[in-house]
Structure formats: structure tokens, C-alpha cells
Amino acid sequence: MLLAVRGLACRYGGVQALSGLDLDLAAGEVLGLIGPNGSGKSTTLDLLAGLRPSPPDTLRLAGQPIGHLPAHRRARLGLRRTFQEPRLVAALTVRENLAAALPVGRGWPWRRKDDMPWLEACGLAHDAGRLAGELSFGARRRLELARALSPGPRLVLLDEPAAGLTEEEVGMLGETILRIRRAGVGVVLVDHVMRLVMAVSDRLAVLERGCKIAEGSPAAVSADPRVRRVYLGEGT
């Protein structure tokens, strides 16, 4: 299993933002994490990415306990995330933005040619020499994603990547996510744009008030009466 989450929990003062969360994710699988506002999706991504520590065994990446590792150590193991606001340098080219993405510490196996497959996957192969500041909003989002991927990705956490995109840009983002999946990278996708989540997820997990209330294929989860009641506000 690429990612195994067991009993993940988080408390902010008096608020139990997440309790007893279990999740599994295989390489090359897209897990859509959905739920109403305040249900714990961002908290889950923060805990997975290492913004705050957890007991080591609550999170395992390819069998290795990582709950205690800080974000940069997890990133080096191939666990990356994107941010809602692209963290790009407008005056650098697309390719230079990739090279500047991760602190290239001693022994980091970064090679320039390794970037190309990710630029291609993100639909940016023809823009490698363009300045990031010249790209459209949708292309900047895809560059943010390429930056998270290169080098050596295993699992990428996407935090509302479709927010603010046009219909066409959402389509291109969906194709990008499917190419990343085909490359064997695991994806956890949090987004309110349901047509994207439904189109690219192999599996959905639904959170409500910090607890997982359903999990399964997009079709099964959308037909689940509890999910419909809680998430879509039906019959309440």
C-alpha cells in the first residue's frame, strides 16, 4: 500500500477537527476526499503533508512510518502537496520554476531531464522556456502541480486545484490528473468542483464533522442515502 492512514486525529482547542480516520491509497490511484465545509478535509491534507506532527504509525508511506516527520522530509520521500495559491516565481521560466521547487540538498537525485515527463503530463511541454508570469491562470495551476511532482513523486495532495478555473481549464486539469495517475503516482484530491472529483477519482471518502461516513466508488458514494442527506442536504 502506498499510503496507509490509521486512527488519524486532530484537535484545535475544543474542536475535534478529525477523529479516528483510516484511509488506504495504492500507487496510481486517485482518492477524492469530499465533505461539507468544516468537515476536516484541509486538516487531513495538512496532517498528511506534515504541517503538524502525528504519532509515527498513524501514517505510513510505502510501509515506512512518517507521522513524526516534518513536511520537508516527507517531500523528500515523494509526498508532495499543492497550494491553492500557486507559489511560482513570475520572472523565472517554467523550467526554472521546477528547478527551484525543492531544496536540492546533498545527494538529492535531481536531474534536469527528469522534469520533462512532468511538464508533459501537466500539458506544459511547449511552455518550458516561457516565463511563469506570462502563463494563463489555468496553466499556472498546472505549473504549481508540475513543481510538486518533480522530482521523484509518489503521492501528491491536491488542495482545491480547480478553484477559480474555467470549464475548459478544469477539463485540462482533469486530463493532467489522469496522466499523473497513469504514471503510477497516488493522488489525494480535495475539491468542491464535483464534476472534476467525480470524473477522475477511483474512490471517494466522505467526511462529516471529522469522521469518515462513507467510502467507495463515485457511483456508490453518490447513491448512498447518508451521503446524500449530509453532503447534498437532501431530506433534512
Ligand X SMILES: Nc1ncnc2c1ncn2[C@@H]1O[C@H](COP(=O)(O)OP(=O)(O)OP(=O)(O)O)[C@@H](O)[C@H]1O
Binding residues for ligand X (CB under 6 A): 12, 15, 17, 35, 37-43
> Which is closer to ligand X, CB of 14 or CB of 235?
14
Query: Minimum distance from CB of 209 to ligand X (Å)?
Result: 8
Query: Minimum distance from CB of 39 to ligand X (Å)?
Result: 4
> Which is closer to ligand X, CB of 47 or CB of 132?
47
Query: Minimum distance from CB of 159 to ligand X (Å)?
Result: 9
Q: What is the 3-state secondary structure (H, E, C) of the chain?
A: CCEEEEEEEEEECCEEEEEEEEEEECCCCEEEEECCCCCCHHHHHHHHHCCCCCCHHHEEECCEECCCCCHHHHHHCCEEECCCCCCCCCCCEHHHHHHCCCCCCCCCCCCHHHHHHHHHHCCCHHHCCCEHHHCCHHHHHHHHHHHHHCCCCCEEEEECCCCCCCHHHHHHHHHHHHHHHHCCCEEEEECCCHHHHHHHCCEEEEEECCEEEEEECHHHHHHCHHHHHHHCCCCC
Query: Minimum distance from CB of 14 to ligand X (Å)?
Result: 9
> Which is closer to ligand X, CB of 12 or CB of 63?
12
Query: Minimum distance from CB of 86 to ligand X (Å)?
Result: 18
> Which is closer to ligand X, CB of 15 or CB of 220?
15
> Which is closer to ligand X, CB of 84 or CB of 136?
84
